[in-house]
């Protein structure tokens, strides 16, 4: 807690002596370990912001395209026409799940073509094949939506500790300065402690947005996953009702 008061005192004392010290100057004079920690935090922060922007646009596009595809699906009466329309929504997870189910259904209908006396257990097996195709496509789409999101969780959980490591290192340098100069004035310990607190702030700057974005993405992916499950159930009911009577 004392560190929070030492840094302003250090900057104020430097200003009183006519030495204007900025945060940039403190960083340029920082220890190599502190500098390495800051560079690491800056790199992961830039990567996190890129992922946040990319995933935000990707999920927004997926949600919009899925809604547009569902409108087409419920307005159409022929599955082949819906399949052709699905090509217009490559970013919609729901359309990709439909295509997987439709392809499997087409294979089954072609294999059973001309066989009107198919046994009931064969029809039930065909339904299970369609259901498996839908589940497989659902898992694939959810995995794609979840890609890169775990990195945000990793940054959110580890960045504060990386910053804490830099803080501990800066405090250690401050005590080493006290030991070498046999003095504990603000001029001696101010700059190392300032470096340490800057690293702490950098760790929080990298972690907080990553945690917020991770929770936001997980919630939206969960919603999209529920929409896919609901669509799969509806599609399977339609298939059972019209193709496996």
Nearest one of 157, 147, 143, 166 to 210, comparing CA atoms: 157
Please give the Cα distance from 179 to 245 (Å, whole number). 88
Give the residue numbers spanning the domain of 174.
2-12+23-243
Q: What's residue 182's pLDDT?
A: 62
Q: What's residue 161's pLDDT?
A: 92
The number of beta carbons lying within 10 Å of the beta carbon of residue 141 is: 23
In the chain (245 residues long), the average pLDDT of successive 10-residue segments reads 42 47 62 85 95 95 92 87 87 92 81 51 63 91 93 94 86 75 61 78 92 96 93 87 66
63 occurs within a structural domain = yes
42 occurs within a structural domain = yes
212 occurs within a structural domain = yes
Give, in order, the Cα–Cα distances in Å from 126 to each of 28, 80, 133, 215, 235: 69, 19, 11, 39, 14
CB 70 within 8 A of CB 230: no
Q: What's residue 125's pLDDT?
A: 53
CB 186 within 8 A of CB 127: no
17 occurs within a structural domain = no
- Upper half-sphere CA count for residue 78 (Cβ side, 13 Å): 4
18 occurs within a structural domain = no
First-to-final CA distance of the chain: 74
Q: What's residue 26's pLDDT?
A: 60
177 occurs within a structural domain = yes
pTM (2 decimals)?
0.76
Q: What's residue 189's pLDDT?
A: 63
Number of structural domains (the chain) is 1
CB 186 within 8 A of CB 6: yes
CB 149 within 8 A of CB 218: yes
């Amino acid at each position: 807690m004392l560190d929070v008061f030492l840094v302003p005192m250090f900057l104020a004392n430097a200003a009183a002596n006519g030495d204007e010290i900025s945060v940039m100057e403190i960083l340029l004079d920082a220890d190599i370990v502190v500098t390495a920690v800051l560079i690491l935090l800056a790199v992961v922060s830039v990567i996190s912001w890129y992922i946040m922007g990319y995933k935000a646009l990707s999920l927004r596009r997926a949600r919009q395209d899925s809604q547009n595809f569902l409108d087409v699906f419920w307005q159409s009466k022929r599955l082949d026409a819906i399949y052709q329309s699905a090509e217009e929504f490559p970013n919609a997870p729901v359309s990709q799940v439909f295509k997987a189910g439709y392809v499997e259904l087409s294979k089954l209908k072609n294999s059973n073509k001309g066989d009107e006396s198919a046994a009931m257990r064969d029809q039930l097996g065909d339904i299970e094949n369609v259901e498996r195709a839908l589940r497989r496509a659902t898992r694939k789409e959810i995995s794609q939506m979840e890609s890169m999101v775990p990195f945000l969780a990793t940054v959110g959980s580890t960045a504060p500790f990386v910053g804490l490591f830099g803080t501990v290192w800066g405090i250690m340098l401050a005590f080493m300065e006290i030991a070498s100069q046999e003095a504990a004035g603000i001029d001696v310990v101010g700059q190392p402690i300032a470096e340490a607190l800057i690293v702490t702030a950098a760790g929080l700057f990298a972690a907080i947005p990553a945690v917020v974005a991770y929770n936001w993405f997980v919630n939206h992916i969960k919603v999209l996953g529920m929409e896919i499950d609901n669509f799969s159930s509806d599609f399977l009911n339609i298939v059972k009702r019209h193709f496996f009577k």
